[in-house]
Structure 1
Amino acid sequence: MINFQKSYKISTFTAILFVASNSATAVNCGDTITTPTVLTENLTCPIDIDNQNGLIVEGPSGSLYMNGYTLTCNLDNLPLFTDAAGIRITGMASLVTDGTVNNCNYGIFVVGTGFHTISDMTITNSLEDGIDLRSDNNTAIKNHIQFSGEDGIDMQGDFSSVIQNYIEFSDRDGIEADNDFGTVAFNFVTGSQRAGIEMEASDNNTIVQNTVMNNGDGISGDSGGIVITSQSSSNNLILGNTAENNLPFDLKDRIDPNCTGSNQWVANNFVTADPACLE
């Protein structure tokens, strides 16, 4: 089991390194950050056709330590059909940490080669996803995500990890896995309108020791605690999770009514399941 105290110390040490090695840096809305940067003030960023991201962080040289400050989006002129974001992460191996992103279309939108890390962020009131992982090999750890208009975290890139996040009140899924070979571990997910954790076209993922409570409207076909919805989801391991008070079921597998398929449900703590043979 992950040592939460050790994880916190690692994250804090990373932040201290940022502060010690980089002077406070003036940052303006719309900037592309290509060096290790420390935010010095709150930002309110208008999002329009010419400036579709509050900030862009480009790795491997660019990283952002937000120093406890908040980036808020002004969406009065938000373009239609856009992936506009509070923070867009590009390139490879960047870090965004220790701040708040509020009232944006996507909170943090992750593309590029991957190997990025998003940690210790608070992401609130996103119109779409709180964090959208579009590239591979990314990590979202110890973030607090609430009131997302769609998913709290959407995993579309392969080999990504979503660990120790607190996700609440998503209008769709708390965590949606549309990826392969990912890890979803030690998250707390509550208040999602659809599923706490949904596997949709998702293969070879490990869903382990998450707590999933009070999710689902009981109406949507994808509603519930931990849910497999797609025929193309296979070889997933759902192990040691706690799922309670989810509607209509804590565990739900829509594609395997006899529990004879390749997805493995093992040693989960739950009250209700469909089919009843899930474990």
Structure 2
Amino acid sequence: MVYEFRGSARHFVVLGILYFALGSSAFAVDCGDTITSPEVLDQDLVCSTEPALTIMGPTGSLDMAEYTLRCDGSAVNSSFNSVIQSGIFKNSGTGIFIAGDNNNVSSSSILDNLENGIQLEGNNNLIVSNEISRSTLNGILIGKADGNTVAQNTVSMSGIGGANTAGILLELLGKSGNVIVGNTVFGNIDFDLQDNNSSPCLNSWVGNSPDATTSGDCVTSN
């Protein structure tokens, strides 16, 4: 799982690759640390420990200050991680890239990232109650991913005109079992909701904004 964020999490265990932004100065952070107070990374870290870092809320947070944290252990595409009540702002790539399974991203603000807000390339993940806005590409991109739930997010003002981008985009990869439900989507540049797959429709679009702009035979806004 790749995270790109600035902020805090209640209980955040990292087993993958992380890229964060921003920062001032604090105490040194080393591989294997458990962080219980606000800290700022002061160097690039390559960790063989798993998890690389553990951030414990409600007081623990990590500002990456434009440095990177990479896990060189066996679990690069990691599972069963949580990012909760975090801020993911102004990254030069995707805000949160999920390559593992059974991860949870919820109640976070994911704003002004230069690629996708969230990119899903794993299975059975839960993306719920996040605010995702002003992503240069897609707010949420669902790629090589089955059985994910994308629910009750607010996704707005993302995309590049004419570049096949959307607030929530399901790529043409024949994946199945993804449920996109109850999302509020508006003001995205090309489309609010887009499914590039054709019939038979193997994913569900239910109860999203009734006035959303849509593209694709399988996508419905409500």
Name the TM tier (shorter chain): 0.7 to 0.9
For the structure 1 residues 201 and 100, does the alpha-carbon distance in structure 2 shift closer, same or farther, using more than 3 Å as the test? same
**Which one-letter code corresponds to 2:66 in the other structure?**
N
In the alignment, which residue of structure 1 is the partner of 2:40? 70
Could you tell me the TM-score, scaled by structure 1's length? Answer: 0.62
Deviation for aligned residue 1:140: 1.1
Contact 1:86/1:101 (<8 A) preserved: no
Asked whether 1:225 is paired with 2:167, we answer: yes
**Which one-letter code corresponds to 1:100 in the other structure?**
D
Structure with greater helix percent = 1
Output one character per residue of 1:208-266: Cα deviation in whole Å (capped at 9) or x when no partner: 10110101112323x1100001314211000100110012000000112x5x4110000
For the structure 1 residues 191 and 275, does the alpha-carbon distance in structure 2 shift closer, same or farther, using more than 3 Å as the test? same
For the structure 1 residues 145 and 160, does the alpha-carbon distance in structure 2 shift closer, same or farther, using more than 3 Å as the test? same
Deviation for aligned residue 1:88: 5.4
Contact 1:181/1:203 (<8 A) preserved: yes
Contact 1:198/1:228 (<8 A) preserved: yes
Contact 1:189/1:212 (<8 A) preserved: yes
The counterpart of 1:91, out of the listed 45, 50, 53, is 50
User: Aligned ranges for residues 1-279 of structure 1 at < 5 Å?
Assistant: 11=10, 42=26, 55-57=30-32, 62-65=33-36, 67-73=37-43, 90-92=49-51, 95-96=54-55, 97-104=60-67, 106=68, 109=70, 134-221=77-164, 223-256=165-198, 258=199, 260-269=200-209, 270-275=211-216, 277-279=219-221
Contact 1:91/1:112 (<8 A) preserved: yes
Contact 2:181/2:205 (<8 A) preserved: yes
Seq. identity, %: 24
Contact 1:148/1:171 (<8 A) preserved: yes
For the structure 1 residues 92 and 100, does the alpha-carbon distance in structure 2 shift closer, same or farther, using more than 3 Å as the test? closer
For the structure 1 residues 94 and 153, does the alpha-carbon distance in structure 2 shift closer, same or farther, using more than 3 Å as the test? same
For the structure 1 residues 89 and 175, does the alpha-carbon distance in structure 2 shift closer, same or farther, using more than 3 Å as the test? farther
Tell me the SS of whatever aligns to 1:173: coil
Could you tell me the TM-score, scaled by structure 2's length? Answer: 0.77
Q: Which consecutive unaligned segments of at least 5 residues does structure 1 have?
A: 1-7, 15-40, 45-53, 74-84, 115-132
Greater RCO structure (CA 8 Å; 6+ sep)? 2
Tell me the SS of whatever aligns to 1:189: strand
Deviation for aligned residue 1:271: 2.0
For the structure 1 residues 89 and 142, does the alpha-carbon distance in structure 2 shift closer, same or farther, using more than 3 Å as the test? farther
Q: Which consecutive unaligned segments of at least 5 residues does structure 2 have?
A: 1-7, 12-24
**Total equivalences in the alignment:** 195
Tell me the SS of whatever aligns to 2:64: strand
Report the structure number with the largest CA radius of gyration: 1
Contact 1:177/1:202 (<8 A) preserved: yes
Structure 1: how far apart are the matches of 2:215 and 2:85?
A: 31
